[in-house]
C-alpha cells in the first residue's frame, strides 16, 4: 500500500513537473509567437503605412501642386493680360488723342483737291518722305496728307509749274517755282497745315501729321433708310394679298353650284 502510494506520488510529481515545464514552454512559445507576431505586424504595418502615406502624400502633393500651379498660372496670366491690355489701351488712347478714328485736321482739308476722309498716307518709320507738287498739271499735293515721326525729312518735288509750299503757322515757306525740290524736317509733334499760295483758293491744300496727333471718334454705323415709295409698295402688296385670300375664302364657301 505504501509502495503503491509512493509510486503514485512520484508519478504525480513527475506529471506535475512535466505539466509545469509544458506550461512554461507553452508560455514562452506564446510570448515568442506574440513577439514575432508583433514584429511582423509592426513591420507589415510600417511598410503598409509608409506605402500608403507616401502614396497619399504624393497624390496630395501633386494635387496641391497642380492646384497651386494652376491658380498661380491663372493669376499670373490674368495679371499679365490685364497689364498688357491696360498698357496697350492706354498707349492707343494716348496716340489717338482721345479717339481711334482718322486723324483730325480740324476741317482744314475738307475742300482740299484729291482729299478723301481717312486718306492720310502712313509714313511712320520712314526717314524721308517725298510729296509731289502739282502732278499731272493739277493743283494739288500727292499725297495730300502724310503721317510721319518726329525728325522725318519731308521733300516736296515739283511736277507742275507756278507752285509753292507754305505752312499756315509760318514754320516753312518756299519760293514759287516750276521745278526742283524743297525740304523741311518735322521736329515737333502735331498737325501742320500748309498750302500753295497761288492756288490756295482753288483747293491746293495739304497737311503734315507729326507723331502723336488728335484723332476723331470712329464713325457710327450707317443704318440704311427705307424710302417712302418702298413703304407704299409694301403696304399695297400686303393689301392685295389680304384681298386675294378673302375672295378665295368667299368663293370656296359660298360659290355657285358646280354640279352638271
* Tens digit of each residue's pLDDT (9 = 90 or more) over 91-108: 443 444 456 789 999 999
Is residue 151 within 8 A of residue 186, CB to CB? The reply is yes
What is the per-residue pLDDT for 99? 66
* Pairwise CA distance, residues 111 & 108, whole Å: 7
* Tens digit of each residue's pLDDT (9 = 90 or more) over 122-170: 999 999 999 999 999 999 999 999 999 999 999 999 999 999 999 999 9
What is the per-residue pLDDT for 91? 40
With 0-12 / 13-18 / 19 or more C-beta atoms within 10 angstroms meaning exposed / middle / buried, residue 156 is: buried
| Cell numbers standing for residue 207 | 497737311
* Tens digit of each residue's pLDDT (9 = 90 or more) over 23-32: 334 434 434 4
Judge if pTM exceeds 0.95: no
* Tens digit of each residue's pLDDT (9 = 90 or more) over 232-249: 888 888 888 888 887 777
Confidence of residue 18 (pLDDT cuts 50, 70, 90): very low
More confident residue, 223 or 119: 119
What is the per-residue pLDDT for 44? 42
What is the per-residue pLDDT for 118? 83
Confidence of residue 190 (pLDDT cuts 50, 70, 90): very high
| Cell numbers standing for residue 65 | 501642386
Residue with cell 511582423: 40
DSSP letters along 64-113, please?
HHHHHHHHHHHHHHHHHHHHHHHHHHHHHHHHHTT-SSSB--TTTTTT-T
What is the per-residue pLDDT for 33? 40
Confidence of residue 5 (pLDDT cuts 50, 70, 90): very low
| Cell numbers standing for residue 56 | 497619399
pLDDT of 210 above 80: yes
Confidence of residue 13 (pLDDT cuts 50, 70, 90): very low
Vertex 69: Cα angle to 67 and 72 (nearest 5): 105
Amino acid at each position: 500500500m505504501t509502495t503503491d502510494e509512493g509510486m503514485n506520488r512520484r508519478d504525480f510529481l513527475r506529471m506535475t513537473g512535466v505539466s509545469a515545464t509544458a506550461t512554461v514552454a507553452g508560455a514562452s512559445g506564446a510570448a515568442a509567437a506574440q513577439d514575432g507576431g508583433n514584429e511582423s505586424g509592426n513591420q507589415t504595418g510600417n511598410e503598409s503605412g509608409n506605402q500608403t502615406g507616401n502614396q497619399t502624400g504624393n497624390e496630395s502633393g501633386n494635387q496641391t501642386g497642380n492646384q497651386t500651379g494652376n491658380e498661380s498660372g491663372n493669376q499670373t496670366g490674368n495679371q499679365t493680360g490685364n497689364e498688357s491690355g491696360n498698357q496697350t489701351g492706354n498707349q492707343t488712347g494716348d496716340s489717338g488723342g482721345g479717339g481711334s478714328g482718322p486723324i483730325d485736321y480740324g476741317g482744314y482739308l475738307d475742300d482740299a483737291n484729291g482729299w478723301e476722309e481717312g486718306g492720310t498716307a502712313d509714313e511712320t518709320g520712314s526717314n524721308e518722305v517725298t510729296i509731289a507738287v502739282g502732278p499731272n498739271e493739277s493743283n494739288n499735293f500727292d499725297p495730300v496728307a502724310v503721317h510721319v515721326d518726329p525728325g522725318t525729312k519731308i521733300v516736296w518735288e515739283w511736277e507742275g509749274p507756278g507752285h509753292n509750299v507754305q505752312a499756315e503757322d509760318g514754320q516753312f515757306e518756299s519760293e514759287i517755282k516750276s521745278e526742283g525740290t524743297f525740304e523741311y524736317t518735322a521736329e515737333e509733334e502735331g498737325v501742320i497745315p500748309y498750302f500753295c499760295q497761288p492756288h490756295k483758293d482753288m483747293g491746293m491744300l495739304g497737311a503734315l501729321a507729326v507723331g502723336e496727333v488728335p484723332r476723331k471718334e470712329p464713325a457710327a454705323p450707317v443704318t440704311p433708310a427705307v424710302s417712302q415709295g418702298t413703304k407704299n409698295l409694301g403696304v399695297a402688296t400686303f393689301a392685295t394679298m389680304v384681298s386675294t385670300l378673302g375672295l378665295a375664302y368667299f368663293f370656296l364657301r359660298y360659290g355657285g353650284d358646280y354640279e352638271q
